[in-house]
Copies of this chain bind each other. A is one copy, B any other.
Amino acid sequence: MTDRRSFWAWGMESREPTKARREAAAKAMSERFSVSLAVASPPSLSEIGLRAPRISAPDSLAAIVTTDPYERAFHAYGHSFRDRVRKFAGDFPNPPDVVAYPRDEADIVALLDWCGGAGYAAIPFGGGSSVVGGVEPPEGHDGIVTIDMTRMDRVLEVDDISRAARVQAGALGPVLESQLRPHGFTMRHFPQSFEFSTVGGWIVTRSGGHYATNHTHIDEFIESVRMVTPAGLWESFRLPGSGAGPSPDRLALGSEGILGIVTEAWMRIQGRPGFRASTAVSFSSLQAASDAARGIAQAKLWPANLRVLDPGEGEAMAGLDGRTAILIIGFESADVPQDAFIKEAVSIARDAGGQVDDDEIVISPAPSDAKTSSDPAGRQGAVGAWRQAFIDLPYDWNDIAGLGVIADTFETSITWDRWPEFDRSVRAATQDAMDRVCGGGTVTARFTHVYPDGPAPYYSFTALGKPGSELTQWAEIKKAASDAVIAGGGTITHHHAVGREHRPWYDKQRPDPFAAALRAAKKAVDPAGILNPGVLIDP
């Protein structure tokens, strides 16, 4: 049987956690929390009892729609903590009635026409990796059609002179990269969800990826966007830059499927980096590491990697001693050696109190005067340990499903002047909530991206909840953390998007006249209000 996505776990069915893995995870968590946790059984498709489809597609759409229970279950959720708990519990009360796999724009137009005429909600779906309820069907609709874009996954053109490609929106990360590779190019956009997120999903959620500095969001790699709206085709000129009115692309970026369905985009691509330089610098405190990151960002050296791990993250994700903060610095280029750049960066880090030996700075290809290294720069030691832990994390969460462990993350950005106090207040609010609700827990932080004017901190928290009560416990912790983020002046999301779960805080953050403008804009291009209703704004 061919492999397919698990309807409940991160990844493919072939990588669903074995019983042995789940038992090992239960043992580890039992030790961590000094309790005895029983392993629960994963859900089975045959037992979840999906509501029968309430609608049926016209014959003209027969070739592209399905009501198969697996398809409906798989498309019922994304991968937020709420989703993970509900999926593992077999709780699927509101699946889409129909799942469609358009092959081209004409199919999308036909689907939107059908939904618009009948008043059904149309939910665009890329890789389904949303952690904010962005692909979850809304309550209170008579019919729900989820439109899965992954059949439209081709790289249509590669312009090697301009280093750009015209890409269909349904390409998953690896599908995209495999098509760029023969041309000698790469997108180098590697969100943690890379395996199971699409170009279109990146665009409509303003995804943040590989690059820690300079151009970080997918926004900055877009030359033009092509989007099917109920009011017609929205396609911008393909341009390296423009000043002609407010950017049409920037209204599509982050629109989370409420304005239209992105079908393709011209995107900037990268030469495959042949020159690399990287290292990990140790600091006695998070603040010292932060100061170093600030100095490097403000010097505009633009490293591809500039990630700060607090002592807790350094221990959990890079195997350090729990007292040391770490700054991972990585430069890369397809065109020019990076020795000079990393030397400047390390000099700034050392001035901020960082410790690193010269022979821990790995440069490839190795300069003629350097010791040889068999590891490519960026794959060794603490850097490599962190990288692997980053990729594995969603799979680790599969293993602990059903144990009652509340493990989640949230991310934001803040200017440097407010950073230390912001960090204290956000940690305190999160810790207090975990103490109150769960009798304890841990919270750690890293920087995923660093701007000259501030970091994008990413918090992870873990506590032991009570199976069956995790969602209400989680909601209380999430609320405390999010309230603190907004009170401190941070954004409710730097790159995880808004969806349904961040709405209460997004509504506080967003200027009221902008909300009115966005609502009116949606009404203009989606007069029937069918596209992803309830995401970003209410009708």
Listed in ascending order, the chain A residues whose CB lies under 8 Å from chain B are: 159, 161-164, 205-208, 214, 216-217, 223, 227, 229, 231-248, 250-256, 259-260, 268, 271, 294-295, 298-302, 333-336, 340-341, 344, 348, 413-417, 449, 451-456, 489-498, 502, 506, 509-514, 516-525, 536
Cα A255 to Cα B517 in complex, Å, equals 13
Cα A171 to Cα B439 in complex, Å, equals 54
- Contacts of A525 on B, CB cut-off 8 Å? 513, 516-517
B491 touching A242, Cβ below 8 Å? yes
- Contacts of A244 on B, CB cut-off 8 Å? 254, 491-493, 497-498, 502, 506, 509-510
Given A299-B335, A524-B520: A243 touches B511 (CB 8 Å cut-off): no
CB distance from A236 to the nearest CB of B (A): 6
- Contacts of A229 on B, CB cut-off 8 Å? 513
25 contacts between A and B (CB under 8 A): A162-B416, A162-B453, A164-B415, A223-B415, A227-B513, A231-B512, A231-B516, A240-B414, A240-B453, A240-B456, A241-B454, A241-B456, A242-B493, A243-B496, A245-B510, A245-B518, A246-B255, A251-B251, A271-B298, A298-B335, A299-B334, A335-B348, A336-B344, A517-B524, A521-B521
B299 touching A333, Cβ below 8 Å? yes
Cα A299 to Cα B336 in complex, Å, equals 7
Cα A260 to Cα B248 in complex, Å, equals 18
Given A205-B243, A254-B244, A494-B242: A511 touches B299 (CB 8 Å cut-off): no
Cα A176 to Cα B298 in complex, Å, equals 21
Chain B residue, CB-CB nearest to A496: B243
- Contacts of A206 on B, CB cut-off 8 Å? 242-243
- Contacts of A511 on B, CB cut-off 8 Å? 233-236, 248
CB distance from A515 to the nearest CB of B (A): 9
Cα A340 to Cα B246 in complex, Å, equals 38
Cα A18 to Cα B414 in complex, Å, equals 54
Q: Which of A161, A416, A523 has the most CB of B within 10 A?
A: A161
Cα A260 to Cα B511 in complex, Å, equals 13
CB distance from A237 to the nearest CB of B (A): 5
- Contacts of A502 on B, CB cut-off 8 Å? 244
Chain B residue, CB-CB nearest to A344: B336
Cα A158 to Cα B415 in complex, Å, equals 13
Given A415-B223, A415-B240: A254 touches B260 (CB 8 Å cut-off): no
Cα A491 to Cα B224 in complex, Å, equals 12
Q: Which of A162, A238, A494 has the most CB of B within 10 A?
A: A162
Cα A364 to Cα B298 in complex, Å, equals 20
B240 touching A417, Cβ below 8 Å? no
- Which of B238, B240, B497, B522 is within 8 Å of A243, CB to CB? B497
A417 touching B161, Cβ below 8 Å? yes
Chain B residue, CB-CB nearest to A218: B243
- Contacts of A254 on B, CB cut-off 8 Å? 243-247
A268 touching B491, Cβ below 8 Å? no
- Contacts of A341 on B, CB cut-off 8 Å? 340
- Going nearest first, the 10 A-B pairs with the smallest beta carbon separation are A240-B454, A517-B521, A299-B335, A250-B250, A240-B451, A206-B243, A520-B524, A340-B340, A520-B520, A242-B491
Cα A518 to Cα B519 in complex, Å, equals 11
Cα A205 to Cα B208 in complex, Å, equals 27
- Contacts of A250 on B, CB cut-off 8 Å? 246-247, 250-251
- Contacts of A237 on B, CB cut-off 8 Å? 489-491, 509
A268 touching B452, Cβ below 8 Å? yes
Cα A161 to Cα B421 in complex, Å, equals 14
- Which of B268, B453, B523 is within 8 Å of A164, CB to CB? B453
Further pairs besides A233-B512, A240-B456, A241-B454: 13, Cβ < 8 Å: A161-B416, A162-B417, A233-B511, A239-B491, A240-B452, A242-B413, A246-B251, A246-B252, A268-B453, A299-B334, A300-B302, A300-B333, A335-B348
